[in-house]
Amino acid sequence: MKALVLKRYGGAEALAFADVARPTIGPDDILVKVRAAGLNPIDNMIPKGMFKPILKFQLPATMGSDFAGVVVEVGSRVSRFQPGDAVYGSVFDLGNGSFAEFVAVPEHAAALKPANLSFIEAASIPMVGLTVWQAFKEHMQLKPGQKIFIPAGSGGIGTFAIQLAKHWGATVGTTTSTANIELVRTLGADEVVDYKKQDVEDVLHDYDAVLGTTRGDGLETALDILRPHSKAVSLIGPPDAAFARARGMNVVMKLVFRLLSAKIRRLAKQRGATYSFMFVRPDGSQLASIGELLKAGRIRPVIDKVFPFTQAKAGLAYLEQGRAKGKVVLQMDAD
């Protein structure tokens, strides 16, 4: 089968299409014919080796995490799916890749595709949906009436996070450019900062939580808008010692991550806040719950561009520019 493969670390030039063996499945797996695959920023970070100490790849490795497609084979112990089912999910950090014609997926990592979504729309959801769900529910314990700051509201994470936060009764503040203010307001943003004209700390005040989604010193600046007993959860880093423990890393890596996160933890403590770094995990049951919200129209996919699978590298290059409004998706076939 055809797959987009990382041959070595080094950047986009290390990615190439290759003919690889069709995956074999175990008793708890399903084999999915991929119809669409979502692109995520980490798909550009991995080839550069940015997550090399954390994610262990056996190179050459098929890239990609998010998928939507049709089940063509099930393992002997699979009970939730059967051939012909339309499913979606994420294989992030599971040793498989979705930028391929077929992907082997553990049963626990998949969910039935919401019937009202196309394969392209469904493929845009898993990583952003699970990331936001786990950040809000498990790390922040976000409650109705609380105020949450979600930077980069028009991006892939932001467009989903704004909608989920509003569905759960939170007040949402975000940043975006002048051209995207209307978009984030239609998604539910209550307070919008035009980052080209305004400073976040001059506009937003007394927030209960911040979701770190942007690189640079944005999270440090965002700490200034937090009230005591608030929570800062970062998807970008730096990783902390608690994350190293959760990953079962050795003492050296725990020390390294403790040192890397020392500054941001100190700044958060000065504000009476706590800091944590999170790594998303595949979870089919959470995706099923997200699917119910999608079916009910509580949340809608926001897709910027769709690229043919053969132009996957062009899609990744477009995503890396950082100007996408919502998600970028690969379409595996035209039928």
What does the pLDDT look like over 211-267, one tens digit per residue? 988 776 678 888 999 999 999 999 988 888 888 888 888 888 889 889 988 999 999
Q: What is the pLDDT of residue 282?
A: 96
298-331: per-residue pLDDT in tens? 999 999 999 999 999 999 999 999 889 999 999 9
What percentage of the chain has pLDDT greater than the value 70?
99
Q: What is the pLDDT of residue 273?
A: 94
**Structure tokens given for 213:** 């989604």
Mean of the per-residue pLDDT values of the chain: 93
**Structure tokens given for 111:** 């969910």
Same fold, 2-125+301-331 and 128-277: no
Angle at which helices 251-260 and 262-270 cross, to 10°: 50
Q: What is the pLDDT of residue 209?
A: 96
37-50: per-residue pLDDT in tens? 999 999 999 998 88
Q: What is the pTM of this model?
A: 0.94
Cβ atoms 129, 88 nearer than 8 A: no
Alpha-carbon distance of 263 to 284, in angstroms, equals 35
Torsion of Cα atoms, 53 then 58 then 59 then 65, to 10°: -80
Alpha-carbon distance of 39 to 65, in angstroms, equals 8
Residue ranges with strand state E in the chain: 2-6, 15-19, 29-39, 61-62, 66-74, 86-90, 102-106, 110-112, 147-150, 171-176, 191-194, 207-212, 226-234, 274-277, 303-308, 327-331
67-81 average pLDDT score: 98
Topology of the domain comprising 2-125+301-331: Quinone Oxidoreductase; Chain A, domain 1 (3.90.180)
Domain ranges of the chain: 2-125+301-331, 128-277
Inform me whether the pLDDT recorded for 56 exceeds 80. Answer: no
Cβ atoms 105, 30 nearer than 8 A: yes
Q: What number of other Cβ atoms are within 10 A of residue 306's Cβ?
A: 16
User: Which superfamily, per CATH, for 128-277?
Assistant: NAD(P)-binding Rossmann-like Domain (3.40.50.720)
pLDDT band at residue 335 under the 50/70/90 scheme: very low
Q: What is the pLDDT of residue 334?
A: 56
